Amino acid sequence: MTILSRPTSFAEAARILADLGPSARLVAGGTDLYVKLRKGLPPPEYLVDLGSVADPGARSIAEEGGEKGSIRAGALVNFAQVVRSPLVAATLPALRDAASIMGSVQIRGRGTLGGNAANASPGGDALPPLIVGNARAIVVSSEGSRTVSVEDLFVGPGLSCLAPHEIIVSFVWPRAPGRASVFERVGNRAFHVITKASAAIAARFDDTGRICDVGVALGAVAPTPIRARRAEMVLEGTRPSVDLLALAASEALSECAPKDDIRSTVAYRAEMCRVLLPRLLRRLDSSWRAGCDVSS
């Protein structure tokens, strides 16, 4: 039998996790964990349900520090909130792109940003956008708090660098005026699928049309979501061209380690890398020319 506790703050949850040790497990929306339990994951002795946490900011998206500041999204923010947030649309539209196609209406209303990151699926759709947005996860435990770049959060399929007693409380990403971002994924259908391959790109274009501050991240093509640093180096400071896009895509491919599984093959995932990056860069470039409206 699993014993359920319902802390009303992250601090209380951290104390409970410290007291109970590895026999306790966090649950937020439950859209990953309850599916795994139904599929045979041994039930934890204690379940620490974050659903009653009432800390200010746990379920909201807000700006900090004005025009040059940052955006903070609570770990319990769900994907429906991400889709509706004007701050996300203005500062990290790739995250809105991703949230708007995740699961179903019901899943978007329950699944949380913190759960998506802590679940550490290589195909977690919020993760490439958070990586290219240079987002950091704020993590607390009974020992205090620390900050982990989302890029460094993942160590293997389903494995994050978080200790069992650590809790993600929020994500923070810098405002980067003029830096647009886009995300796309490939699956068997447009909606209600598990991602076969995904990509997010963020960049700014300077007055001469050169790409600046570029970020490229890929999902479901390696054991973790990855930042494609070599592709970024190819793109930074250049003007987009067909050859450049092809070179960036092939560099990105060299950074992937796709594998065959029940959803897709190595060859298909590699091909999708080649297709997605140029497609996203073209989208970003035309968005920029149209005044950075990347919503369509």
Ligand X SMILES: Cc1cc2nc3c(=O)[nH]c(=O)nc-3n(C[C@H](O)[C@H](O)[C@H](O)COP(=O)(O)OP(=O)(O)OC[C@H]3O[C@@H](n4cnc5c(N)ncnc54)[C@H](O)[C@@H]3O)c2cc1C
Which residues of the shown chain bind ligand X in the complex (CB under 6 A)?
Answer: 25-33, 35, 75, 102-103, 107, 110-112, 114-116, 118-119, 124-125, 167-168
Please report how close the Cβ of residue 126 comes to ligand X at its closest, in angstroms. Answer: 6
Please report how close the Cβ of residue 201 comes to ligand X at its closest, in angstroms. Answer: 18
**Within its chain, how far is the Cα of 230 from the centroid?**
20
Instruction: With CA atoms as reference, report the closest residue to 210 among 177, 238, 233, 244.
Output: 238
Q: Determine the Cα–Cα distance for residues 187 and 124; give it in Å rounded to an integer.
A: 13
In three-state secondary structure terms, 100 is helix
Nearest CB to ligand X, comparing residues 66 and 144: 144
Nearest CB to ligand X, comparing residues 159 and 267: 159
Nearest CB to ligand X, comparing residues 31 and 134: 31
- Per-residue burial over 11-38, b = 16 or more CB atoms within 10 Å of its CB, e = otherwise: ebbbebbeebeeebbbbbbbbbbeeebe
Residue whose beta carbon is closest to ligand X:
115
**Within its chain, how far is the Cα of 188 from the centroid?**
21
Nearest CB to ligand X, comparing residues 111 and 215: 111
Instruction: With CA atoms as reference, report the closest residue to 114 among 43, 69, 61, 178.
Output: 61
Residues 6+ apart with CB under 8 A from 1: none
Phi, psi of 185 (to 5 degrees): -135, 160
Q: Determine the Cα–Cα distance for residues 160 and 153; give it in Å rounded to an integer.
A: 5
Please report how close the Cβ of residue 117 comes to ligand X at its closest, in angstroms. Answer: 8
Q: Are 274 and 280 in contact (CB under 8 A)?
A: no
Please report how close the Cβ of residue 271 comes to ligand X at its closest, in angstroms. Answer: 21
Nearest CB to ligand X, comparing residues 152 and 236: 152
Please report how close the Cβ of residue 210 comes to ligand X at its closest, in angstroms. Answer: 33
Please report how close the Cβ of residue 102 comes to ligand X at its closest, in angstroms. Answer: 4
Nearest CB to ligand X, comparing residues 15 and 282: 15
